[in-house]
Structure 1
Amino acid sequence: MTVNRNLAAFAAVNGAMAVALGAFAAHGAGPQIKSLLTTGAQYQMTHALLGVACALWPARTALIGVAGWLATLGGLIFSVALALIGLLSLPRLGAVAPIGGVLMIAAWLLLAFAALRSPSVSD
């Protein structure tokens, strides 16, 4: 099995960041920004895991790799935008968060397309 090591490493760093953000939301954030940070951490972790799954996907194709990168980048953009909105009171970044959301949606759709196109692997 070949592994997309760069994608796996990037996704793992995203996962670590999501844990840190979630911990800060739970233990250090004020009530007014806790929800933003928690939401960002949840989406970032989910899409970090999707990135790892794509990095380890058995039938490795370019589409699977692109899906993984879209997922991790989308999760990062979405999470950072929400964090900056809450922590630095930058409401204009509300226009950036949907970019991350679109990338995450595109990742799932691309993964579905790639999964249907990939040859099945027999055990």
Structure 2
Amino acid sequence: MKALLVLGALNAALAVILGAFGAHGLKSRVDDAMLTVWSTASHYHLYHALALLVVGLLARQFGAASMVTAGWVLFAGMLVFSGSLYVLVLSGQKWLGAITPLGGTALIIGWLMLAWSLFKNT
């Protein structure tokens, strides 16, 4: 539970830093399409960092191991989804776009796991 809270807070800060970097540092280095990709990555990163905080608090409240597992799946999905998009923009390696849906799938699974855990434990 504590790990999810710490990861959530650290990733929220990192998402803001990377969002600002994309808006200011990449503006003259990549085209508008790649800036949009970066923006998508940073938005999803921030949303799911906040989700980790919520999941950590819910897990603490209800003591449900299944909520902690859902949080770790969300974290993995966030890393793969946003991480692959960040690296795609920085490297120009288009094949990384094929990895992004795996992260999106993990995010969906994490949310569904959380919903199931809430249904069972509240």
TM-score over 0.5 for the alignment?
yes
Q: Which residue of 2 aligns with 1:66?
A: 69
Tell me by how many angstroms 1:32 deviates: 3.7
* Counterpart-to-counterpart distance in 1, 2:73 and 2:9: 15
Q: Which residue of 2 aligns with 1:49?
A: 50
Residues 1:104 and 2:101 aligned together: no
- Aligned pairs, number: 116
Secondary structure at 2:66's aligned position in 1?
Answer: helix
Unaligned runs of 5+ in 2: none
Tell me by how many angstroms 1:117 deviates: 0.4
User: 7, 11, 25: which one pairs with 1:10?
Assistant: 7
Contact 1:14 1:76 in 2 (8 A): no
Return the TM-score normalized by structure 2: 0.88
Give the stretch that moved more between structures: 51-60 or 25-34.
25-34
Q: Which residue of 1 aligns with 2:21?
A: 24
* Counterpart-to-counterpart distance in 2, 1:72 and 1:12: 12
Deviating beyond 3 angstroms after TM superposition, the runs of 4 or more aligned structure 1 residues are none
Contact 1:21 1:38 in 2 (8 A): no
* Counterpart-to-counterpart distance in 2, 1:21 and 1:77: 15
Secondary structure at 2:20's aligned position in 1?
Answer: helix
More helix by share: 2
* Counterpart-to-counterpart distance in 2, 1:94 and 1:22: 19
Identity of aligned residues (%): 34
Return the TM-score normalized by structure 1: 0.88
